[in-house]
Amino acid sequence: MLLFTRVAGPGLYLAAGCGQNRHMTRLPKPRGRLTADRPLSDLTWLRVGGPADWVFQPADTDDLSRFLAALDEDVVVFPIGVGSNLIVRDGGLRAVVVRLGRGFNSISVEGNRVIAGAAALDAHVARRSAQAGIDLTFLRTIPGAVGGAVCMNAGCYGTYTADVFVEAEAVTRSGEIVTLTASDLNFRYRHTDLPHGWIVTRAVFEGPAGDPDALDAKMAAQLAKRDETQPTRERTAGSTFRNPAGYSSTGRADDVHDLKAWKVIEDAGMRGARLGGAQMSPKHPNFLVNTGTATAADLEALGEEVRKRVFQSSGIELVWEIMRVGEPAPDRPAQEAGDGIE
């Protein structure tokens, strides 16, 4: 609950307290939108999660830079994109959540390079690039936006963001605007070294040339295969766990599946497993689904039970690909799955 909001001094700061026993926090007053106690469930694809202390939607990069420069260094900053790879726990997030929107979703082409704002959807970047004869088709079926693709080195069909990455612009936690190279980010499978609190605002990609019609056909085939094999009409967050093999599916006929996450989950008998409103998809067992009534606790507990049973079955320790953040609900501690699995 918002206790009070007022403009302090000459309109430079907002002071507010969110929820019970929260600290009084002085926040810079930005040009963009700043909302206290904002529920996050409608900002994630899984539709779960409690409120953030604050959600900040900056007007532009300068607004973001000035806000972070003036923000107390002890305040946690957490960027989110379209929430496609995220579980926010039921108690919410004690942080200023930064969500980029308008002003950060432009896509332009210069020669064989594509410049995209961090809020531009991966699918939109793939389509715009194809129209210009640039092959970034691997992005077409990746759920999310450019900022997340850079931060997590998103990839599929044997191609990764690192393979087409030129540079990125980011704003540091102290508000400095910097340019990041591939060596700065140190791309690895589903991981980079982007420091906590830094926010990617745009990226530059360079892809191979291709015929626009052929690239369009390639993307159509990818979409058809995705819809055939994945629960695209369900509430999911994409792949739940990283492949133990340490690389994405290539899509080739000779691609082996022994160390794919879906295969070890199926071998452990967890395809279709349910806990409360959470389910491992019967269609693709590496997709965690909110069937309509799941809490974040349901989803996380089911995922942890999957990890436990896969380890018992194969000795493989699955690593979460979905990011999980925040606190459990005050009246509901983190759930133990146990016998609740169906």
Sheet holding 2-8, edge to edge: 2-8, 13-18, 25-28
CA separation for the pair 241, 262 (Å, rounded): 9
Is 18 exposed, middle or buried, given 0-12, 13-18 or 19+ CB atoms closer than 10 A? buried
Instruction: Please say whether the dihedral angle defined by the alpha carbons of residues 54, 57, 59 and 64, taken in this order, is positive or negative.
Output: positive
**How distant, in Å, are the alpha carbons of 88, 127, 199, 231, 240 from that of 237?**
12, 22, 21, 10, 7
| 110 included as an active-site residue | no
Instruction: Please say whether the dihedral angle defined by the alpha carbons of residues 148, 149, 151 and 155, taken in this order, is positive or negative.
Output: positive
Among 26, 321, 324, 327, which one carries the catalytic annotation? 321
CA separation for the pair 191, 340 (Å, rounded): 33
CA separation for the pair 78, 327 (Å, rounded): 14
CA separation for the pair 290, 156 (Å, rounded): 24
| 321 included as an active-site residue | yes
Backbone torsions φ then ψ of 30, nearest 5 degrees: -90, 175
**How distant, in Å, are the alpha carbons of 153, 251, 261 from that of 256?**
22, 10, 12
| 99 included as an active-site residue | no
Among 140, 190, 307, 309, which one carries the catalytic annotation? 190
Report helix angle 212-229 to 122-131, nearest 10. 150
Q: Kindly calculate the radius of gyration of the chain based on its CA atoms and give it in whole angstroms.
A: 21
**How distant, in Å, are the alpha carbons of 28, 67, 88, 171, 319 from that of 62?**
13, 8, 28, 9, 36
Q: Which residues contact 65 (CB under 8 A, 6 or more apart)?
A: 171, 175, 176, 177
Among 65, 84, 129, 239, which one carries the catalytic annotation? 239
The residues carrying an active-site annotation are 190, 239, 321
